[in-house]
């Protein structure tokens, strides 16, 4: 996928709504696209995260402790908690169907959210919604 068509695809995603052309091109230039077969584990719960993932096509299952907690599709994203907070992955993510994903390495993701503050706000707000429940006090 070339940068121009990726920029157009990103513009249609809620996360990137309202970004100007320069910002969309900056994001698109940071994305590494890849295809994943159905059934393949993309993220493993408990591992360290080094990239933020955008779902460009297809569906992913999000699992916690082996239980499906969500199914997400194109326009969604995963991996923000691990790259924002430098914490272990809070869920396992498996390709439910063949998927196209866009990976943004953590170092480039940090630069993007520094350069585009509204992007940081949106990602953090979504991350708060999907955070795993806190452990009960000891």
Does any domain span residue 19? no
Asked, for residue 85, whether it belongs to a domain, the answer is yes
**Among candidate residues 85, 81, 84, 93, the one with its CA nearest the CA of residue 44:** 93
At residue 132, the pLDDT reads: 52
Each residue of 10-28: pLDDT tens digit? 999 999 999 999 999 999 9
Q: Is 124 helix (H, G, I), strand (E, B) or coil?
A: helix
Q: Of 85 and 14, which is predicted with more confidence?
A: 14
Report residue 37 CA to chain centroid gap.
Answer: 18
In the chain, % of residues over pLDDT 90? 73
Report the domain count for the chain. 1
Is there a domain that residue 59 lies in?
Answer: yes
Owning domain of residue 89: 31-130
Residue 131 has pLDDT above 60, yes or no: no
Write the CATH number for 67. Answer: 2.60.120.10
Residue 43, domain member (yes or no):
yes
**Does residue 20 belong to any structural domain of this protein?**
no
For residue 39, tell me if it sits in a domain: yes
What is the CA 126 to chain-centroid distance, rounded? 10
Question: pLDDT category, 125, cuts 50, 70, 90?
Answer: confident
Cα separation, 131 vs 133, in Å, equals 6
Answer whether residue 125 is part of any domain.
yes
């Amino acid at each position: 996928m070339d940068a121009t068509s990726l920029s157009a695809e990103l513009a249609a995603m809620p996360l990137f709504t309202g970004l100007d052309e320069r910002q969309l091109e900056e994001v698109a230039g940071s994305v590494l696209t890849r295809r994943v077969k159905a059934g393949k584990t993309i993220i493993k719960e408990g591992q360290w995260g080094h990239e933020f993932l955008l779902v460009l096509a297809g569906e992913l299952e999000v699992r916690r402790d082996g239980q499906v907690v969500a199914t997400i599709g194109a326009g969604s994203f995963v991996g923000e908690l691990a790259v924002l907070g430098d914490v272990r992955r809070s869920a396992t993510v498996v390709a439910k169907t063949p998927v196209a994903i866009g990976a943004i390495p953590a170092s480039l993701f940090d630069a993007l959210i520094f350069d585009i503050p509204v992007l940081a706000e949106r990602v953090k707000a979504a991350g708060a919604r999907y955070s795993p429940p806190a452990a009960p006090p000891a």
